[in-house]
Chain A
Amino acid sequence: MKKLLVILAVLSFAGAAFAQSANKVSEILKSAHLTYAQAAYLSQAALGNETSEDEAFSAAQRSGAIPKGCSATDEITLKNLAWVCSKTWSVDGSLMLKAFNNPRYTFRQMKADGVFDQNADPDKKPSGGEAMNIITNCIDIYEGGAK
């Protein structure tokens, strides 16, 4: 519940669109598996940017956050969710990540930072609720580090 409140508090800066955004976040929370479009939407919403899922997905594609061949409705893995988040927050602190800027080492750095559990499986497909926890962890841990 705390996680939802944090996201909603961030969304409140979106002003008039708040109610619509809150509904969208509630809908995502109920998802059994998070999609790439939802992941892109959440990462934008956490910054207070009001967009649609499609707009967020297109923006994420342009920024290189979405692996080639993945569509908006495909279910995202934790490793690729980490990659999406790294385009929103500044994830740093790994030599291997500097050398090979890819989802694998982004996930491992975010694990070291405490965003993910130590035993988290990079290929697990998170639910909407789990993704919300991860986004909230990103806000907590990378606060002030938004790109």
Chain B
Amino acid sequence: MKKLFTVAFALAFTANIFAVDFGGLLGASTDFKFDGNKYDAAKLEQQETLSGWLRVPFDEYTALAVEASVQHKLNAKFGDNSECDNNIILDLNLLKFSKIFKFDNANLLELAVGRMFVADSTALIFAQPNDGVSVKYTASKFELFGYAGYSGLLNIKNVSILSSAGNVFFLPDEKKVYDFAAPYLTTMFSATLPYLFAEQTLSAEVMLFLPAGGPSELPDDEKTRFYTTAMLNGPLMPALFYDASLTLGLPNLSKLSLLTKLDLIYYASFKNASISLNAIYASGSGDALSPFVGFTKITSCNSAQEPIYSGITKFGITASVLPIKPLYISAGASVVLKKESSMGYYGFEIDANAKWQPFSDLQVTLGASTFIAKDEDNNRTEITLGGALAF
């Protein structure tokens, strides 16, 4: 990790001869979780984050962007003094050198090297910062994207990577400010055909995650994972859009697993309101298919169990509106089914969020959700208050 910071600072000082734009963000959030209807034993998570960024434009098409953060995290449980952890987390969130080549026919070639956020087209399989190289070629009729990276230098305290069995690899050492994540070689390639017919966009994506060596070690039986996604999206009628995807997973390059997703979104002209319906299915054990497991840990619902998208079927509705300019409000409800011996009712979730931005550089957020599970132990009610100031 020292090397990463050394490189970042060396680049920053080298860049002194160029103009440097810089800034920072001060954020804080307080989160209360009430699990299993135990309202007298709330879990508290208090976070304060200070991050700084700088951007060095070498010319109009070449730039270096760096962002680093220090975070204090307090986890405590009311009524139980033994469960109180204070952690300091250091991270290099972004270290990206990018260059854009513009061609005479308006086609673009974008190259990026370093640590940057990468996500797959569904954002349910792979969505995290990663170290690597990306190449994107954009033409009027198609777009190609390639990425190759490595996850072993990330801070495990900020990125949760799943094993091919669907477990988070290991709990980080709470005393370390930076601990290395599970080492994988990560590759992605996608091709997109925008406005192929009737304004519909078709895309195809393949991803391969290969166990690798690194500062931290993987279990011996860790498997190679392969995913391929086909996605179609576009308008169905004015203001009504859809987004449909189908992903086949090949854990251990053997038995197939499946993730399908459908979103319908309607944008109203009134107060920038929108309403969306969504459905997700992720195969589980016991099916003809094998359990679907992503790469980045992404929870499917806000129950106390925090299940990943594996053996899950979920139907949801979300509405959002901007009633007055600095205020954004959204609310949603979902029904979740989970595969145990068979796919059965797991619980019902409702949530509401508000974001108030009285100034362009100040934001206050309030979120509340409750998950009413079939099994009372999985119930969770959560309230989160946050604020951030950009400077």
By a beta-carbon cutoff of 8 Å, the part of chain A in contact with chain B is 93-96, 98, 108-109, 112-113, 119, 121-124
**Which one, B55, B57, B358, B361, contacts A96 given CB within 8 A?**
B361
A111 to chain B: closest residue by CB:
B360
User: Would you give the shortest CB distance from A82 to chain B, in whole angstroms?
Assistant: 13
Q: What is the distance, in angstroms, from A106's C-beta to the closest C-beta of chain B?
A: 12
With a cutoff of 8 Å between Cβ atoms, the chain B residues found around residue A123 in the complex are 19, 21
Within 8 A of A (CB), among B331-377: 358-362
List 21 A-B pairs, Cβ < 8 Å. Answer: A93-B360, A94-B360, A95-B359, A95-B361, A95-B362, A95-B389, A96-B361, A96-B389, A98-B359, A108-B23, A108-B361, A112-B360, A112-B361, A113-B360, A119-B55, A121-B19, A121-B55, A121-B57, A122-B19, A122-B21, A123-B19
CB 8 Å contact bits of B170-200 with A (1 = contact, 0 = none): 0000000000000000000000000000000
Question: Is B304 interfacial (CB-CB < 8 Å)?
Answer: no
Nearest residue (CB) in A for B326 is A93
CB of A80 to closest CB in B, whole Å: 13
Chain A residues in 8 Å Cβ range of B279: none
Interface status of B63 (Cβ within 8 A of chain A): yes
A136 to B359, CA, bound (A): 24
* B3-24 interface (Cβ within 8 A of A): 19, 21, 23
User: If A95-B389, A96-B391 touch, does A119 touch B360 (CB 8 Å cutoff)?
Assistant: no
Q: Bound complex: CA of A124 vs CA of B58, how far in Å?
A: 11
**CA distance in complex: A122, B18 (Å):** 12
Q: CB-CB < 8 A to B21: which residues of A? A: 121-123
| A108 contacts across to B, CB distance below 8 A | 23, 360-361
Kindly list chain A residues whose C-beta atoms are within 8 Å of the C-beta of B361: 94-96, 108, 112
CB distance from B132 to the nearest CB of A (A): 22
Beyond A95-B361, A98-B359, 12 extra complex contacts between A and B, CB < 8 Å: A93-B360, A94-B360, A94-B361, A95-B358, A95-B359, A96-B361, A96-B391, A112-B361, A113-B360, A119-B63, A122-B21, A123-B21
Most buried by A among B19, B359, B360: B360
Give chain A residues whose Cβ lies under 8 Å from the Cβ of B359: 93-95, 98
In the complex, how many angstroms separate the beta carbon of A90 from the nearest chain B beta carbon? 14
User: Is B360 a contact of A124 with CB atoms below 8 Å?
Assistant: no
**Bound Cα distance A95, B359 (Å):** 6
Please give, as numbers and ranges, the residues of chain A lying within 8 Å of B19 by CB-CB distance: 121-124
Contact residues in B for A119 (Cβ distance below 8 Å): 55, 57, 63
Best-buried of A93, A121, A123 by chain B (most CB within 10 Å): A121
Cα of A113 to Cα of B23 in the assembled complex, Å: 18
Across-interface contacts of B63 in A (CB, < 8 A): 119
Contacts of A109 in B (CB 8 A): 360
A11 to B57, CA, bound (A): 35
Least Cβ distance of B25 to chain A in Å? 12
> Once bound together, how far apart are the Cα atoms of A124 and B55, in whole Å?
13
Interface centre among B358, B389, B391 (most CB of A within 10 A): B391
> What are the residues of chain A within 8 A of B57 when measuring CB–CB?
119, 121, 124
The smallest beta-carbon distance between B80 and chain A, in angstroms, is: 39
| CB-nearest residue of chain B to A99 | B391
Assembly CA distance A98 to B63 (angstroms) = 30
Q: How far is the CB of B363 from chain A (nearest CB, A)?
A: 10
Query: Digit string of B191-234 for contact with A (CB within 8 Å is 1, else 0)?
Result: 00000000000000000000000000000000000000000000
